[in-house]
């Protein structure tokens, strides 16, 4: 009986560790995004300080009204990585996909020589403080240490808002503000219809910064 129970626990654990599907997004046709979403798997390996990892399976839920978000989804600022040491990286791709219960944005990073990044750069996600934006309707994702010449993402053009086709998270805007204390960041702004909790995490091999927004 103990052996059967142990096998059942191990089997359930393997099911829980299956990756989350992430699709591509760029303004291409929705069918292309959905096809790509079926081919790429993600497992969230890093979550904000003080939170337990919550990757390993798609979040399930019912109606949004009055429902508590899953563990790890917050309305407050979240950070991952470390401000130092700084390792300049290249941004090779930005993609997104709308899922049943969350909207996901993925920024894929490499080292300058094209190999997998080892250190997670300092990143934070928070609601934008732009006075021209209605409060609580834009989530700002900051990624430290991506210089202009090392931004190779073709899915987003800096300074141009790109419509996602999603009803809740309807637009993504990328900007590079230049040097901030000698460090150049990439900034991604996700416009939302209403204030929603979110989760910042990362995955490795290759390194991906992941922003999930609870729908």
Average pLDDT over residues 12-37: 41
Rounded to whole angstroms, the Cα distance separating 187 from 185 reads: 6
Q: What does the alpha-carbon distance between residue 127 and residue 48 come to, in Å, rounded to a whole number?
A: 15
pTM of the model: 0.73
Alpha helices, H only, the chain:
2-16, 30-37
What CA–CA distance (Å, rounded) separates 129 from 28? 30
Question: What H or E segment, with its residue span, contains residue 106?
Answer: strand 102-111
Q: What is the pLDDT of residue 117?
A: 93
What pLDDT is recorded for position 47? 52
Top pLDDT among 181 and 176 is at 176
pLDDT at residue 108 in the model: 98
Q: Is the pLDDT of residue 4 over 50?
A: no
pLDDT at residue 105, rounded to an integer: 98
In order of start, what are the domains of the chain with their CATH numbers?
19-47+74-214 (2.60.40.3500)
pLDDT in tens, 116-150: 998 999 999 999 999 999 999 999 999 999 988 89
Q: In what order do the strands lie in the sheet with 123-127?
A: 78-80, 123-127, 138-144, 185-192, 169-175, 162-163
3-state secondary structure of 159: coil
Identify the burial level of 152 via C-beta atoms within 10 angstroms of its C-beta, where 0-12 means exposed, 13-18 middle and 19 or more buried.
exposed
Conformational region of residue 34, where left means phi above 0, alpha means psi within -120 to 50, and beta covers everything else: alpha
Read off the pLDDT of residues 177-189 as tens digits, 9 standing for 90 and up: 777 777 889 999 9
Segment 163-191 mean pLDDT: 89
What band does 158 get if pLDDT is binned at 50, 70 and 90?
Answer: confident
């Amino acid at each position: 009986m103990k052996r059967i129970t142990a096998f059942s626990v191990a089997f359930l654990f393997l099911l829980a560790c299956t990756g989350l599907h992430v699709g591509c997004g760029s303004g291409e046709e929705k069918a292309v995004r959905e096809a790509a979403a079926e081919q790429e798997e993600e497992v969230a390996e890093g979550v904000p300080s003080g939170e337990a990892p919550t990757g390993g399976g798609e979040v399930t839920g019912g109606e949004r009204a009055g429902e508590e978000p899953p563990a790890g989804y917050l309305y407050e600022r979240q950070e991952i990585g470390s401000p130092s040491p700084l390792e300049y990286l290249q941004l090779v791709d930005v993609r997104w996909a709308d899922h049943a219960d969350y909207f996901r944005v993925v920024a894929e990073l490499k080292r300058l020589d094209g190999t997998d990044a080892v250190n997670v750069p300092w990143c934070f996600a928070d609601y934008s403080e732009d006075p021209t934006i209605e409060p609580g309707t834009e989530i700002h994702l900051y990624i430290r240490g991506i210089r202009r010449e090392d931004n190779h993402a073709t899915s987003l053009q800096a300074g141009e808002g790109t419509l996602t086709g999603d009803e809740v998270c309807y637009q993504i805007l990328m900007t590079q503000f230049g040097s901030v204390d000698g460090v150049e960041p990439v900034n991604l702004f996700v416009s939302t219809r209403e204030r929603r909790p979110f989760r910042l995490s990362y995955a490795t091999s290759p390194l991906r910064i992941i922003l999930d927004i609870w729908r």
